[in-house]
C-alpha cells in the first residue's frame, strides 16, 4: 500500500462503520443501475473498490469475482454480503494503485463504481496501469463516476455538497479520469454516456491488443 493512501484508508475505516446508512439516499438511485451495469458480466471479474459489497448480489452466479479495497473495515462489511451472494467471491485487502496481491492477465472484466472520483489524480494513472496489467488481452472495463455538471442549478447543488462529500468520502467532482484513460497506451474507451443528468458518467472500454 502506498504511504500516501494511508490517510484515505483511515478515512474509510471510519466512514465504513456507518457507510450504508449515510449513503442510503443515493443508493435508492444506484440500486436501479446495478443490474444493468453488472448483470451481463461473465468469467473472471475484478471489482476495484468494493466498499461494503453492494454490487455483490447483482453478479451472475457463474462469475468468479475478486474484490479489492483499501479499507479493511469496508472489507469486513463486504464479507458479510459476500456470504449471501450467488457467485464465488475472494476479497483482498489491497491498494488499487498497486495491487500487489493480484496476478497479471487474469481478468475478463474490471468493474469500478465511484472509485476514481475518490482517488487523488496522481494515483489514477497508476491505477489504470494496474487495470491494464491484470486484464487479459481484449479484457473490458466499466467505470461509473461523478463529474461536475454544466447545468448551473445542478452545479450549485454540487458546490453545496462538495465539502461534505470530500470530507466523508474523499470524493471530488473534478477528477480527470477520462483524460487519463485517453492518454493510456493500453486502454481504450469504447463508449461514454450519462446515467443521470450530466453528472453520473458511465465509461466502458477495452484493453488493447
Cβ count near 16 (within 10 Å):
20
> Per DSSP, what are the bridge partners of residue 158?
none
Expressed in percent and rounded to 5, the helix, strand and coil fractions of the chain are 40, 25, 30
pLDDT value, residue 196:
96
Domain of residue 133, CATH code:
3.40.50.150
Mean pLDDT by groups of 10 residues along the chain of 209 residues: 60 65 81 96 97 96 97 93 96 94 97 91 93 97 97 96 84 93 97 97 95
pLDDT value, residue 23:
77
CA dist., res. 77 & res. 52, Å (int) = 5
pLDDT value, residue 12:
59
Q: pTM for the complete prediction?
A: 0.90
Q: Which domain covers residue 84, as residue numbers?
A: 3-207
Question: Phi first, then psi: what are they for 43, rounded to 5°?
Answer: 85, -150
The domain tally of the chain equals 1
DSSP classification of residue 43: S
Amino acid at each position: 500500500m502506498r504511504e500516501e493512501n494511508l490517510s484515505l484508508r483511515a478515512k474509510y475505516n471510519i466512514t465504513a462503520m456507518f457507510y450504508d446508512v449515510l449513503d442510503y439516499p443515493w443508493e435508492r438511485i444506484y440500486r436501479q443501475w446495478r443490474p444493468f451495469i453488472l448483470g451481463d458480466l461473465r468469467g473472471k471479474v475484478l471489482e476495484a473498490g468494493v466498499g461494503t459489497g453492494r454490487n455483490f448480489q447483482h453478479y451472475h452466479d457463474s462469475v468468479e469475482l475478486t474484490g479489492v479495497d483499501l479499507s479493511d473495515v469496508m472489507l469486513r462489511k463486504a464479507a458479510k454480503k459476500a456470504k449471501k451472494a450467488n457467485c464465488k467471491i475472494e476479497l483482498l485487502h489491497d491498494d488499487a494503485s498497486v495491487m500487489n496481491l493480484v496476478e497479471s492477465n487474469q481478468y475478463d472484466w474490471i468493474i469500478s463504481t465511484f472509485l476514481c472520483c475518490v482517488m487523488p489524480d496522481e494515483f489514477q494513472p497508476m491505477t489504470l496501469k494496474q487495470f491494464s496489467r491484470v486484464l487479459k488481452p481484449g479484457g473490458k472495463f466499466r467505470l461509473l463516476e461523478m463529474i461536475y455538471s454544466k447545468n448551473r442549478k445542478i452545479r450549485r447543488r454540487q458546490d453545496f455538497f462538495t465539502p461534505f462529500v470530500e470530507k466523508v468520502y474523499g470524493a471530488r467532482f473534478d477528477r480527470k479520469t477520462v483524460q487519463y484513460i485517453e492518454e493510456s497506451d493500453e486502454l481504450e474507451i469504447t463508449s461514454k454516456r450519462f446515467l443521470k443528468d450530466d453528472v453520473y458518467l458511465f465509461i466502458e472500454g477495452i484493453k488493447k491488443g
